[in-house]
Amino acid sequence: MWRCPSGLLLLLLLAGQGALGARRGRWRRELAPGLHLRGIRDAGGRYCQEQDMCCRGRADDCALPYLGATCYCDLFCNRTVSDCCPDFWDFCLGVPPPFPPIQGCEHGGRIYPVFGTYWDNCNRCTCQEKGQWECDQEPCLVDLDMINAINQGNYGWQAGNHSAFWGMTLDEGIRYRLGTIRPSSSVMNMNEIYTVLNPGEVLPAAFEASEKWPNLIHEPLDQGNCAGSWAFSTAAVASDRVSIHSLGHMTPVLSPQNLLSCDTHHQQGCRGGRLDGAWWFLRRRGVVSDHCYPFSGRERDEAGPAPPCMMHSRAMGRGKRQATARCPNSHVHANDIYQVTPAYRLGSNEQEIMKELMENGPVQALMEVHEDFFLYQGGIYSHTPVSLSRPEQYRRHGTHSVKITGWGEERLPDGRTLKYWTAANSWGPSWGERGHFRIVRGANECDIESFVLGVWGRVGMEDMGHH
């Protein structure tokens, strides 16, 4: 025998009345699937309570915006469709909601399970049991607030999102993208060479090594997440200088990996190294080309031992050396060893650095890299104060080394003239100005004029003959 529960009867009656009374105004609410069925649920949200809103019967304007939809705080919301605000039952009726709360969190129109995660730039967000996201709070290498502040601040350079840095923390940038150990004070004071300008000698307003020595100046490489700028900047300067001093008879791209893997005395490969040690190795042992001994790259957080040294050389007399191993790359047979003469330090003086650069080729410079440098996309860089007002963990710096290739000056809209160096970094060709950057000259910006080295490629008569 069929028995009609009185509750159901009441519900049918009310539904009938509702349909009669407000068919036109109500149809959207009636047709839409319940909010809970659409997976839209902000379990802990206070909506009716926030507005102190509870309406009897039907009241279409007894409604609130709710995660991109609308929810209601009137009794009707529970009758036909379930588009009640999440706290309607609890706040307006004093009963628990009739639907089990969905276990999960919403993000970008998707429901994630409890303990589900997504990445917000460099921070991981995890769905908590109460249906709320909790995100790590690390400073990121690409920081949108910093980018905006730099671009609005008229600092003379433009900042942007370098894709390879997106998702990295600032700490990872400092740890993995630099990698030069500051020289000890005894090295800092090494055999400084003073070039003296001849009386009446005036250096040009602009100079670029690649214009004086076409095809002998090499493009920047990418150190990836290997903190080996000590090896990259040394190999880069040596490549150019060997090419220039051999008058183009040899134009090798020298192998940073050869240094990273084989120059291990007091050096730490992709965890950092010293410039004086790198030059000592290039002089006494020499390295092969990058084709012969290619960069093996390195992933972030890669544990385990560094790759073993795959190249060795022996003395051939008169200081020259010869490889005793094949290239660690079966496609290349040319395993010539390239060497340099002892590196020399230039005076920390703009004019001396310029003169050396113009006469002998690109020089190596130590550089203190700050958090904003990673964002550089063009212009004349100087360290900005945009992070000064932020907590300390947003202001980080580390020691790096680069290749200075030229100089110039630019007239600013306000009439001032800004002098700059042009330099090659080792963050690949898509960073900065095609892998290069310009930085303020004559003010020891970021210590760039404090420790500058030059070297001579070791070139014998026999090198000038063949090839």
Ligand X SMILES: *[C@@H]1O[C@H](CO)[C@@H](O)[C@H](O)[C@H]1NC(C)=O
Query: Helices in 269-418 by DSSP H: which ranges?
Result: 275-284, 350-360
Residue whose CB is less far from ligand X, 93 or 316: 93
DSSP E strands, 189-338? 192-193, 207-208, 313-317, 320-323
Residue whose CB is less far from ligand X, 147 or 244: 147
Which of the residues 225, 258, 360, 425 is marked catalytic? 425
Could you tell me the smallest distance in angstroms from the CB atom of residue 178 to ligand X? 21
Could you tell me the smallest distance in angstroms from the CB atom of residue 161 to ligand X? 4
Q: Give residues with Cβ within 8 angstroms of 291, minimum separation 6.
A: 253, 327, 329, 332, 334
Residue whose CB is less far from ligand X, 224 or 406: 224
Among 21, 25, 39, 98, binds ligand X (CB under 6 A): 98
Could you tell me the smallest distance in angstroms from the CB atom of residue 98 to ligand X? 4
What's the CA gap between 453 and 95, in Å, rounded? 77
Beta-bridged to residue 123, according to DSSP, are 120
What's the CA gap between 97 and 333, in Å, rounded? 75
Picking from 224, 199, 154, 277, the residue whose alpha carbon sits closest to that of residue 431 is 224
Could you tell me the smallest distance in angstroms from the CB atom of residue 144 to ligand X? 6
37 binds ligand X (CB under 6 A): no
Residues 325-364 that bind ligand X (CB under 6 A): none
DSSP 414-450: TS-EEEEEEEE-SB-TTSTBTTEEEEE-SS-GGGTTT
DSSP annotation of 457 reads: B
- Single out the segment in contact with ligand X by CB under 6 A; choices: 161-169, 325-333, 363-371, 397-405: 161-169
Residue whose CB is less far from ligand X, 87 or 356: 87
Query: To 10 degrees, the CA torsion angle through 291, 365, 382, 158?
Result: -10
460 binds ligand X (CB under 6 A): no
Is the separation of the CB atoms in 165 and 369 below 8 Å? no
Residue whose CB is less far from ligand X, 9 or 144: 144
93 binds ligand X (CB under 6 A): yes
Picking from 158, 145, 170, 225, the residue whose alpha carbon sits closest to that of residue 433 is 158
Q: Binding string to ligand X for residues 128 to 157, with x set by CB under 6 A, is what?
A: ----------------x-------------
Could you tell me the smallest distance in angstroms from the CB atom of residue 162 to ligand X? 8
Could you tell me the smallest distance in angstroms from the CB atom of residue 346 to ligand X? 38
Q: Binding string to ligand X for residues 50 to 79, with x set by CB under 6 A, is what?
A: ----------------------------x-
DSSP E strands, 155-220? 157-159, 192-193, 207-208
Question: Is 400 one of the catalytic residues?
Answer: yes
What's the CA gap between 121 and 143, in Å, rounded? 9
Residue whose CB is less far from ligand X, 132 or 163: 163
Among 166, 342, 409, 464, binds ligand X (CB under 6 A): 166
Could you tell me the smallest distance in angstroms from the CB atom of residue 328 to ligand X? 32
What's the CA gap between 397 and 64, in Å, rounded? 48
Angstrom CA distances, 94 to 88, 89, 91, 97, stand at: 9, 6, 6, 9
Among 128, 132, 163, 324, binds ligand X (CB under 6 A): 163
Residue 164 neighbours by CB distance under 10 Å:
17
Residue whose CB is less far from ligand X, 99 or 207: 99
Burial 435-459, CB ≥16 within 10 A → b, else e: bbbbbbbbeebbbbbebbbbbbbbb
12 binds ligand X (CB under 6 A): no
What's the CA gap between 311 and 325, in Å, rounded? 6
- Single out the segment in contact with ligand X by CB under 6 A; choices: 131-139, 158-166, 178-186, 196-204: 158-166
Could you tell me the smallest distance in angstroms from the CB atom of residue 66 to ligand X? 18
Burial class (CB in 10 A: 0-12, 13-18, 19+), 167: middle
Cα angle, residue 301 at apex, residues 221 and 274 outer, rounded to 5°: 50
- Single out the segment in contact with ligand X by CB under 6 A; choices: 18-26, 52-60, 160-168, 391-399: 160-168
Residue whose CB is less far from ligand X, 76 or 381: 76
What's the CA gap between 206 and 422, in Å, rounded? 10
| H helix count then E strand count, the chain | 11, 19
Which of the residues 258, 400, 436, 444 is marked catalytic? 400
Residue whose CB is less far from ligand X, 51 or 430: 430
Q: How many positions of this chain bind ligand X (CB under 6 A)?
A: 7
- Single out the segment in contact with ligand X by CB under 6 A; choices: 16-24, 159-167, 250-258, 331-339: 159-167
Would you please indicate which residues are annotated as catalytic (active-site) residues?
Answer: 400, 425
Task: Return residues touching ligand X (CB under 6 A).
Answer: 78, 93, 98, 144, 161, 163, 166
